[in-house]
């Protein structure tokens, strides 16, 4: 992982590639890849098998989207092309990244980006399968906001407010990135004690997101409405809700995640209703990410 000045340069070069200006092309790519997956689901359902392991499916399609976004689309739109463009702008005075560093950045997007977003969608489907009222509310919102139009307008997606509350609540309860690490580069005074230089700090996001003292008695309940008028979901301390980390190193891909999340969920909810399969075994496990150990089998029904 890049650190210090090396990180500053890398972050500077990659930031423009995540500008919403480039999202239009990405959105069509997401719609096409997702529709391909859903067409397969329809064939499977029609052949009499309604049980689909959506974790597996969504991880594959998430990987396809990010791989095409990084390397595969037209040169003007893929990340590598955008990074090369930014890297070559005049006035960098020798402060550029090598080709290998640029390719490494694209690999970081791939590993940072495809699993986490796919998991956010997967856990959302699990919770929506258990909370049919929210599944119906989101479907209703999609009908009102998107209607029969194609999903081509980013402003349309921005109007899906309830879907945003659901996403925030899912990222609270099942944070795909369950912890954040830092290393103290010098002695740091925190109130009345000192964190010595070189200490590795492990910030346990899952524990903070489930702390009754911060969230109240209903901390373990799925209540998207806590995010209705508050970006921190009513948390007692705004630095304790950290699905994307914090500070200068905060996740660079979060806007891209919002986009993919909304596109994929809108397409699924418009075509299917779903319930948990009786074969689902609830067992979240933390490795690098927080994932369902035995996948997520859902019973899918055509609308």
Give binding residues as ranges: 251
For the chain, counts of helices (H) and of strands (E): 11, 9
What whole-number distance in Å separates Cα of residue 4 and Cα of residue 154?
A: 35
User: Residues 167 to 186: which contact ligand HEM by CB under 6 A?
Assistant: 176-177, 180
Per CB under 6 A, the list member of 109, 134, 165, 215 interacting with ligand HEM is: 109
In 3D, which of 290, 280, 282, 296 has the Cα closest to residue 115?
290
Count other C-beta atoms under 10 Å from residue 132's C-beta.
12
Residue set of the binding site for heme: 251
Q: Is 300 helix (H, G, I), strand (E, B) or coil?
A: strand
What whole-number distance in Å separates Cα of residue 265 and Cα of residue 281?
A: 23
Per CB under 6 A, the list member of 61, 128, 223, 253 interacting with ligand HEM is: 253
Per CB under 6 A, the list member of 113, 292, 295, 297 interacting with ligand HEM is: 113
Mark 37-76 with x for binding to ligand HEM (rule: CB under 6 A) and - for no binding: -----------------------------x----------
Per CB under 6 A, the list member of 244, 271, 284, 294 interacting with ligand HEM is: 244
Q: Which is nearer to ligand HEM, 120 or 267 (CB)?
A: 120
Number of residues that bind ligand HEM (CB under 6 A): 24
Phi/psi at 270 (5° precision): -75, -25
Should residue 126 be labelled a site residue for ligand HEM when binding is judged by CB under 6 A? no
Tokens 């959302």 belong to which residue? 124
Should residue 17 be labelled a site residue for ligand HEM when binding is judged by CB under 6 A? no
Helix (H) or strand (E) holding 189: strand 188-190
Q: Evaluate the CA torsion angle 201, 205, 207, 213 in order and state its sign.
A: positive
Q: Are the beta carbons of 281 and 213 closer than 8 angstroms?
A: no
Should residue 256 be labelled a site residue for ligand HEM when binding is judged by CB under 6 A? yes
Per CB under 6 A, the segment of 31-39, 89-97, 220-228, 239-247 that binds ligand HEM is: 239-247
For Cα atoms 196, 108, 117, give the angle at the middle one, nearest 5 degrees: 100
Q: Which is nearer to ligand HEM, 4 or 196 (CB)?
A: 4
Rg of the Cα atoms in the chain: 20
Should residue 295 be labelled a site residue for ligand HEM when binding is judged by CB under 6 A? no
Which residues contribute to the site for ligand HEM (CB under 6 A)?
A: 11, 66, 108-109, 112-113, 116-117, 120, 176-177, 180, 243-247, 249-253, 256-257
């Amino acid at each position: 992982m890049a650190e210090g000045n090396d990180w500053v340069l890398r972050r500077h070069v990659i930031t423009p590639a995540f500008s919403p200006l480039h999202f239009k092309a990405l959105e069509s790519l997401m719609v096409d890849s997702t529709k391909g997956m859903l067409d397969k689901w329809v064939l499977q359902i029609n052949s009499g098998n309604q049980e689909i392991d959506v974790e597996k499916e969504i991880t594959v399609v998430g990987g396809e989207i990010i791989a095409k976004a990084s390397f595969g689309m037209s040169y003007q739109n893929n990340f590598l092309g955008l990074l090369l463009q930014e890297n070559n702008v005049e006035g960098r005075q020798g402060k550029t990244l090598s080709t290998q560093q640029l390719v490494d950045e694209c690999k970081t997007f791939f590993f940072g980006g495809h699993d986490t977003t796919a998991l956010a969608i997967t856990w959302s489907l699990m919770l929506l399968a258990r909370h049919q009222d929210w599944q119906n509310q989101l479907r209703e919102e999609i009908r009102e906001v998107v209607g029969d139009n194609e999903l081509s307008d980013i402003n349309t997606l921005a109007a899906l407010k309830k879907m945003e509350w659901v996403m925030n609540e899912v990222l609270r309860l099942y944070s795909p990135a369950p912890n954040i690490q830092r290393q103290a580069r010098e002695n740091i005074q925190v109130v009345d004690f000192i964190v010595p230089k070189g200490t590795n700090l492990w910030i346990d996001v899952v524990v903070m997101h489930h702390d009754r003292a911060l969230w109240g008695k209903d901390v373990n309940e799925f209540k998207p409405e806590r995010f209705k008028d508050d970006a921190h979901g009513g948390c007692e301390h705004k630095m304790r809700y950290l699905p994307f980390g914090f500070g200068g190193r905060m996740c660079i891909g979060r806007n891209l995640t919002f986009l993919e999340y909304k596109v994929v969920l809108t397409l699924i909810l418009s075509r299917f209703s779903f319930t948990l399969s009786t074969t689902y075994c609830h067992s979240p496990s933390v490795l690098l990410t927080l994932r369902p150990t035995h996948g997520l089998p859902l019973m899918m029904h055509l609308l």
